[in-house]
Amino acid sequence: MRLGSVPIIMVSVSFIAVFCLGSSAFAHLGFHEEIGLINEELEQDPHDKDLLLKRAYLFRLIGHHQDSLNELDNLITKYPKDTAFYYERALTYEDLKAYEQAELDFTHVIRLGTGNGTVFSRRAAVRERLKRFEEALEDYRSGCQYRQTEGFYVRFGQLHQRLGHCRDAADVFLKGLKQWPVSIALTRASVRLETDRGNYQQAQKLITATLQRRRFKSPWLLLRGDVYRAAGQDEKAVKTLQEALRECDSIIDSGRGSAIHRTYRAEVLLAMGDLRAANREIAAVLKKFPDYARAVDLKRRIEFKRNMLKGGANVNKAIRLGRKEWKENPQN
């Protein structure tokens, strides 16, 4: 991410000119080099608040959070009504997991009359962290007055779902899908919700619409298999998984397969109960791509299921080993 692409929420016109457009001298520099160039410019004008804010932002990006806070504290003391400084400090507090302080700064931005969809969304997320769920819901509702991201609607709906407000969650996902009709994240969240509340027909309707748009269908066939199983339609679930496996095999056999296709093949095999074949497939992926996060996660799931199937003795052994490790290394 480079400075020229940073979205600014609420700032003065002069700050937009400096921060978003910037000098061409800042282009294509690393963060440390940009800080060095800012320091040189500040020697000419040490009170340039836009440059000081830019430096505080860069301090945050490189993990120098205390330097960022020191800079912002000084700016807020000098310019107590400039919301850009409170907003950036809130982001720094978020990075530090100091959620109460972040919440206070986001609230200050809103009270000064410059709150918008992004500020409400961020404060909602912070309030969720603080387990102030009703206040978070209020922020999400306020945020809906603005055009929002897919992630906003996913988080809003999932909070309703966690609190048992399934109908409200469905309404939120539906509203999100009206703005983002081809959103994978929103569609998945909506399918999961409808499945959990037993509305299998609606879940399948969402999957069918998505399948018509997707060239690679196996991820959605996997999800369809989950819905069939939840509905007690095991025969249809098996046929759906077989269809997914045939697609993965066809792509891989044609030479067009990638780590993604092989990982999904392993996931289909796991869903079909063939743990040995799933483990072989994912081991081959990890041998070539050891840091591929989806494959690493799937490997853990396979191992967990294998251990569960070995019986209670192995599960108890794992618990004992875990307790022993904790006693020896409690900080981990």
Domain boundaries, the chain: 1-115, 215-332
Provide the mean pLDDT of the chain.
Answer: 87
C-alpha 160/C-alpha 331 separation (Å) is 34
Mean pLDDT score, 289-304:
95
Tokens of 57: 């932002």
Mean pLDDT score, 302-314:
79
CB 84 within 8 A of CB 49: no
pLDDT per position as a tens digit, 38-86? 888 888 888 899 999 999 999 999 999 999 999 999 999 999 999 999 9
**pLDDT of residue 183 exceeding 60:** yes
C-alpha 73/C-alpha 140 separation (Å) is 28
Of 218 and 32, which is predicted with more confidence? Answer: 218
Q: Terminal CA-to-CA distance of the chain, rounded, Å?
A: 32
CB 322 within 8 A of CB 328: no
Of 199 and 47, which is predicted with more confidence? Answer: 199
C-alpha 64/C-alpha 83 separation (Å) is 21
C-alpha 32/C-alpha 250 separation (Å) is 48
pLDDT of amino acid 18: 40
Q: State the pTM of this model.
A: 0.77
pLDDT of amino acid 325: 54
CB 78 within 8 A of CB 94: no
List of residues 6+ apart from 177 with CB closer than 8 A? 153, 183, 186, 187, 190
Using the structure block, give the residue that is written with the tokens 């000119």. Answer: 17
Counting residues of the chain whose pLDDT is more than 90, the rounded percentage is 75
- Reply yes or no on domain 1-115 having CATH 1.25.40.10: yes
**pLDDT of residue 201 exceeding 50:** yes
pLDDT per position as a tens digit, 225-236? 999 999 999 999
Residue 255, Cβ neighbours under 10 Å: how many? Answer: 6
pLDDT of amino acid 174: 95
pLDDT per position as a tens digit, 89-146? 999 999 999 999 999 999 999 999 877 899 999 999 999 999 999 999 999 999 999 9
Sign of CA dihedral 5, 8, 13, 18: negative
| Eight-state DSSP code of residue 330 | T
CA dihedral 176, 182, 245, 231 (to 10 degrees): 40
Architecture of domain 215-332: Alpha Horseshoe (1.25)
| Eight-state DSSP code of residue 3 | G
pLDDT of amino acid 39: 83
